[in-house]
Each structure stands twice: as C-alpha cells, then as structure tokens.
Chain A
Amino acid sequence: MQANYLTIALSKGTLLKPTIGLLEQVGLPAEGLTPESRQMVFSYEQPCIKYIMCRPTDVPTYVEQGAADLGIVGKDVIVEQRKDIFELVDLRYGYCRFVVAGPAHLQNIALKELNYKRIATKFPVTAEQFFRSHGLQVEIITLHGNIELAPIMGLSDVIVDIVSTGRTLKENNLVEIIKIMDSTTRLICNQVSYRTKYDSIQPLVEKIQKHVKGGSKA
C-alpha cells in the first residue's frame, strides 16, 4: 500500500475487458489499459490510482496482505481462496456457476448417492465444503486443468467445476448434476485500507454501486 495512491488489483483474462469497461464508466482512468498489454503496473496521477495486473487466483492474496487496497475478482475465486477480505460490491458481470457434473447416466443421481465418490476438481476447498455441509464424505482429487478428462479416464466419478455456458461439459459428454452456487465478479477491499483510506474508497464504492444498480451490465 502506498500512502496516497489507491492500488487496485485487476484480474487478467476474461474479466479484464468488462472490468476496463466498468472503470471507464465510473470515471476512473483507463488510458492505455487493454487486455493485450503486457505491462503489469499502470499508474495515473489524476486521480492517484494504480492498477496491478494479476492472475485472478492471486487477486485475493494481494488484497488480503495489503499489497493492493482494492481488487476485482470472481466470487468463485473468493470462495476457494478464503482470504480475510471485505467484499463490497457485486459487479454482476462474469457470471458462472459451480456445479457437480458427471457422465450422462448420472444425470438424475441424488446428492446423497455421491457419498464416498471420487471428485476431481480445481476447487478442492469449495468442493469439500459443499459435500461436508451436506454431511457427505468424498475423496477430493485436485487437478490443475482439463477436469473433464478425469471421469472419462476413470480417475474420478464426477467433477466439481465452474461452468458459464455449459459448452465444454457438452463437448465432453458430461451433464450438470447439481448446482453448488452462482458466481459473479466482486469488488473486494483490504480491511485496513477500508478504514485508513475510507475517504477515497467509500465514494468510489458508492459510485460503482450506483452504476451497477443502474442496471447497465458492463
């Protein structure tokens, strides 16, 4: 954290474009900020704003530790990371949902029948928490990509993954069995920054809130 700068951690990848749109619409500087740029830090003097480009999964870490005051990141990442951060605004774009998915013949399986099954996922915390909260024990297999491959190759019975359109599932002959939760993009804040930089953060939060409530989905 820098005394008079407001540092905002932005998620690279699919969220970046709508995020830049949001920044522009609420009147924050965004000159030169493009998804193609390889620059990692963008500083502006009027107002004193600094953006840092992060992998989405790193955004909560930067914010929790105070390396950034604010962050823009998906709820899916926030629930998986369980960091101590304030979640201030639902920005409503970047919709996706956590689901349990599996081969077509499991389409109508009841949740409790997944007890003791093997679950492949990139989101072990969310997956474990979901099954535990229903009193079920499952074996979590953590993978880092191409989760759809796991049930096809017999590595797991089902998967827990995020889905936005459902196309990837369909292409791999998997079906959505249970929805765990919906996710959209959120504005998050460091708990100390919120208090020590309240005078610059709160007006910004209110501006963004008003913009989001105005119904225009960025």
Chain B
Amino acid sequence: MMKNREIPKGLRDLLPDEVKIKRNIESQAAGLFMRYGYEEVITPAFEYLEVIEAGAGSNIRQELFMFMDREGGILSLRPEMTVSIARLAATHLQDEPLPLRLYYMGNVFRHVQPQKAQYREFWQAGIELLGAQGPIADAEVITIAARTLAAIGLLDFKISLNHIGIFNSILNDSNMNPQDQTRVRQLVERKDLVALSQVLDSLPVNERLKETIASLPVLHGGLEIIDKIPYLEESPKASEAVSELLKIYEALNTFGVIEHIVLDMGVLRGLDYYTGIVFEGYSPDLGYGLLGGGRYDNLLGQFGFPCPATGFALGLERTALVLKDTVDGPTRYLVGGTRLEAMVEKCDELRTAGFIVELDTKMSGRDELQKLCARKANTTLIYID
C-alpha cells in the first residue's frame, strides 16, 4: 500500500466549509479581544524543551512532540500558548507600561489519543492580561471568556470557577508528603471519588481535613457552597483564597456575566503554573470543556520577569463542534459566455460591488455551466453571449 495519501494520526485537513466556521469563530473572538484593548502576538510553533518545561512543569513531557535541532538542542512543538507568551513578554516587553493586554490565535500540539474533540494538532484563541493583580483583572478575563462564547453564538454555557488556593492550603495543612499530595490532587481533579476515599483512609491525616478534601470535588453551585467547606475557618490561607474568590464573583456580577458563572471546588486545571483563580467553560452540547484559564503569578518570574498574570484559552475545534449551523456564504456568481471581454468586464463590476465571482476559464456552453451551478452552493450563473 502506498503511504502517500496518509496523514499522521490525530491530524486533520480542514475543508472549505470547516474553515469558514473556524475563521468565523476566530474573527468574532479577535474582534472582541481587540475591543477590550488586547493586541495580537505570534510566537514560534516550536520552542526549546527547557522553555516549555520551565513554564508548564515536567509532567507535560509525556504529551509533547519533541525533536532535535542540528546543534543537539531538544525542541518541542508548543503544547499550549501561555508559556510562549510569558517567554515573549519577558524577553521583549519588560519595559512596556503595565498592564499588558495580549491575545493570540495559534495551533498547538499534544501527543494524546485522538478521538472526537481531541486532536493532536488543535487551535486555540486566547488572551493574557500581564501585570495586573486583583479581582477586577481576573473578572475582566472571565468576562471576556463568557462574552466570547456568547459572541460566537453559544446561548447555553457555564463557566465553573474555583480558587486553587483553597485546595492547596488545605492540602498543605494536611502534612502529607509531596507524592501523596500529587496523588490526592490528581484524584480530586479527575473526580475519582472512589480512589480518593481509599487513599484518604490510608493516610494519617486529621479527620476534619479528610472530610474537607473528600467534599471539595462535589461542591458545585452558587455562593451557598462556601458555607459547606467544613475546615475553612481553621485555615487562614484557605479563607483568604475564598475571600478573593468572592470578590471576583462580585466583580463578575458588576460586569454582567454572573448568569453563566457557577462555583466548583473540583476545578483544579492540569497545568502546574496556576496560582489563584481557575476556571473552565462548558456547553451542555459537548462532553468536553471548551475553554480554560486562570491566574498564574509565578510563571513570568520563571523567565526573569516577575509579574502577576491571568488569562484563558478557547479550543476552536471544540467550539466549532457545538455550533451546529454552518456559516452561509454570501451569494456567489459564476460568469461564463462566449465574449471574454464582456465577461471580464462583468466580473470586475460585480467584484467591485463586493460579490464573490468566479470566471469560467474553459468558455463552456450554457447547459454545462447550469449543471455546474446546480452542484455549487448559493451560486448564480451569468451567461454572456
């Protein structure tokens, strides 16, 4: 068998109808980001492995596509954009007045098991708000996330909000060793409640803490869930995180997107760099998350530019899956005939008026062109003889 028509596993070609939907999402998102003052940057499709690992932690290595340059450096296709943006800002933008508002559209690469809504190359659109601390900055980013989904045409979506400081400080107070902490974190993140309760039972941890850790993954709802965190009043750090979360919640009310917001103590996000608020966006029409983000105050410091930051990324393929309607193209014309000069003139006239016009370069007969038109969407024939 010839391999010359195969493409690598998990990659895809996008055909005109799919590209139309994708470009439409991109232009809605970009337009919105720009109206909030964000400016686009572009970073290379691959980076040194050191850069990616310094930013995203070494856990990400198993999902990377890695290769070597001819000088022996290890390179990796970017698995996400935030680390690259942090590196870019630390290299080029340290002297700019803060805060910096940046946005990007780019393809990222992960070595995952391909399936519906999960490809090895996929596209992300996102923003990063650099050099801005505090709940209003986080609320702006979350608001833009919600407004983006709305602008793209999603009606029914939810954004789940959490503060990673709540879980982290409760975990710290437990005096578990680092391996057990990592394990418990993964189980909470995956909501493997069965294994979580088995692991907690086996650890010498104070009962109230165990109860608290076991309850976090299922706490989901409005402000009332805060009162259901048993251990809260005993941990000043966790309480501090909760009060930050509440301030952001309040700000989201002011920004007018609160109807889409729920609190969810089980949202932790997989990446190591988050330090504060974390959030994920979902549509009931897709079994996978659409967007994710949060605050990462230590990431830019990894690149010598200590600076608070917050942002999110939207998965374009997944969003496209939720949008059932195809984008209807504008009316198109096919101009054919026997007199080239008149045909060219007609084409130019229509194009100047803003229409999409194809010229029949084969000078085919009317019948043939009528048949052709019938097979193309939205196309009207103009025959000049």
- Residues of A with Cβ closer than 8 Å to B? 1, 3, 64-67, 75, 84, 86-90, 186, 189-198, 202, 205
Contact = CB atoms under 8 A, between A and B. Distances in A.
B120 to A, nearest CB: 16
B287 A87 contact: no
Given A89-B194, A90-B194, A64 B218 contact: no
A204 to B, nearest CB: 12
Given A189-B191, A191-B288, 6 more contacts: A65-B115, A66-B286, A186-B194, A192-B284, A192-B287, A195-B262
A3 B286 CA distance: 11
B42 to A, nearest CB: 31
Contacts of A202: 218, 220
Contacts of A64: 287
Contacts of A189: 191
Contacts of B262: 195, 198
B287 A190 contact: yes
A87 B192 contact: yes
Instruction: From A189, A190, A192, name the one whose CB has the most chain B CB atoms within 10 angstroms.
Output: A192
B206 to A, nearest CB: 22
Nearest to A88: B193
A112 to B, nearest CB: 23
Given A66-B287, A196-B158, A197-B284, A191 B116 contact: no
A29 to B, nearest CB: 22
B282 A196 contact: yes
Contacts of A86: 190-193
A181 to B, nearest CB: 11
Which 4 pairs of residues, A with B, have the shortest CB-CB distance? A66-B287, A86-B191, A196-B284, A90-B194
B221 A192 contact: no
B194 A192 contact: no
A65 B192 contact: no
Main secondary structure of the interface of A (DSSP, over half): mixed
B319 interface: no
Interface string B190-225: 111111000000000000000000000010110000
B285 interface: yes
A158 B117 CA distance: 38
Contacts of B284: 1, 3, 192-193, 196-197
Contacts of B194: 75, 87-90, 186
A198 B221 contact: yes
Given A195-B282, A205-B218, A66 B288 contact: yes
B220 A198 contact: yes
A193 B286 CA distance: 9
B121 interface: no
Contacts of B148: none
B143 interface: no
Instruction: From B117, B218, B283, B287, name the one whose CB has the most chain A CB atoms within 10 angstroms.
Output: B287
Contact of A1 (B116, B221, B287, B289): B287
Interface in B273-299: 282-289
A142 to B, nearest CB: 17
A185 to B, nearest CB: 10
Contact of B116 (A65, A87, A186): A65
Instruction: From B160, B218, B220, name the one whose CB has the most chain A CB atoms within 10 angstroms.
Output: B218
A205 B194 CA distance: 12
A87 to B, nearest CB: 4
A143 B194 CA distance: 30
A84 B186 CA distance: 12
Instruction: From A75, A86, A89, A202, name the one whose CB has the most chain B CB atoms within 10 angstroms.
Output: A86
Contacts of B115: 65
Given A66-B288, A198-B220, A205-B218, A192 B193 contact: no
Contact of B191 (A65, A90, A194, A197): A194
Instruction: From B117, B194, B264, name the one whose CB has the most chain A CB atoms within 10 angstroms.
Output: B194
A196 B157 CA distance: 8
Nearest to B190: A86
A87 B282 contact: no
Given A65-B116, A202-B218, A202-B220, A195 B191 contact: no
A87 B220 contact: no
Contacts of B116: 65
A3 B155 CA distance: 13
Interface string B298-313: 0000000000000000
7 contacts: A87-B192, A186-B194, A190-B287, A192-B284, A192-B286, A192-B288, A193-B287
Contacts of B285: 1
B359 to A, nearest CB: 45
Interface in B102-134: 115-117
Contacts of A90: 194
B158 A195 contact: yes
A194 B289 CA distance: 12
B287 A195 contact: no
A20 B241 CA distance: 44
B222 to A, nearest CB: 11
A202 B218 CA distance: 8
A161 to B, nearest CB: 22
Interface in B244-274: 262, 264
